Amino acid sequence: MFEQMHPRWQELLVDQRKQLAAISGVLEKDSASVPERNLMLRAFNYPPEHYRVLIVGQDPYPTAQHATGLAFCVPKDTRPLPPTLRNIFKELRDDLGEDQVINADISAWADRGVMLLNRNLSTRSGETGAHVDIGWEDFTGAAIAALQQVHGGNLVAILWGQRARTLIPELTESKVLHSPHPSPLSSYRGFFGSKPFSACNNHLRDLGLEPIDWSC
């Protein structure tokens, strides 16, 4: 799995090679893992210098047809939308004052500089949080530390959910926005109305960086 990452990530995370090998060994024994193995490290296709925003979620959608390797992202023709993504799009519309959504695929955000990263990069089909104890959080924690090191203070981090918010003490050099998770279980506890998209772009402007085009 290590070789699936962009060479720059391999350079920065060389000490995580054994960790990924151990995770891979666990996944080989779990035929119900999602997403597909070749997609699990999709967030690392671009080098860290490409990103100026980090969105952190919890774990992938627990359905093979929805899990794409990018946090919260689904294939463009997905219907109905997963409730979590539907809530993200509602907040996007309420925040920016217009309908930004053409299709369900938000991978364009990654193309424009947003790293869509879950704390855990796999789960078991039909189960949420099935792989929280196999070592992913050590790996993604190391990746986030490397991303912050590359950017210094020129990074905006958006943390959604309890597992993502455990990163706050580790992101002292970055601009951090955090709220409850956009899932139906917690969206009304503070995700709705948090206006993360406009707040993120305001921080980017303050840093002298180009705002994100959030349309998709």
Does 205 score more than 90 pLDDT? yes
Percentage of the residues of the chain whose pLDDT score is greater than 70: 100
CA distances to 98, 133, 160, 196 from 93, in Å: 5, 36, 18, 11
Q: What is the pLDDT of residue 44?
A: 98
22 membership: H or E segment, kind and range:
helix 17-28
CA distances to 4, 79, 81, 133 from 138, in Å: 18, 34, 30, 10
155-196 pLDDT, tens digit each: 999 999 988 999 999 999 999 999 999 999 999 999 999 999
User: What are the tokens at 150?
Assistant: 């590359």
Mean pLDDT over residues 10-16, rounded?
A: 98
Query: Are 44 and 143 a contacting pair, CB within 8 Å?
Result: yes
Q: What architecture does CATH give domain 2-206?
A: 3-Layer(aba) Sandwich (3.40)
Query: Are 137 and 23 a contacting pair, CB within 8 Å?
Result: no
| Cβ-based neighbours of 123, under 8 Å, separated by 6 or more | 33, 34, 59, 60, 62, 67, 129, 130, 131
93 membership: H or E segment, kind and range:
helix 83-96
Lowest model confidence (mean pLDDT) among 12-16, 106-110, 125-129: 125-129
**Distance (Å, rounded) from C-alpha 104 to C-alpha 78?**
6
For residue 203, give the amino acid letter: H
Q: What is the pTM of this model?
A: 0.96
**Distance (Å, rounded) from C-alpha 183 to C-alpha 71?**
13
**Distance (Å, rounded) from C-alpha 118 to C-alpha 135?**
13
Q: What is the pLDDT of residue 17?
A: 98
Query: Are 175 and 208 a contacting pair, CB within 8 Å?
Result: no
Q: What is the pLDDT of residue 99?
A: 76
Q: What is the pLDDT of residue 32?
A: 95
Mean pLDDT of the chain: 95
Q: What is the pLDDT of residue 9?
A: 98
78-102 pLDDT, tens digit each: 999 999 999 999 999 999 987 767 7
Residues marked as catalytic: 59
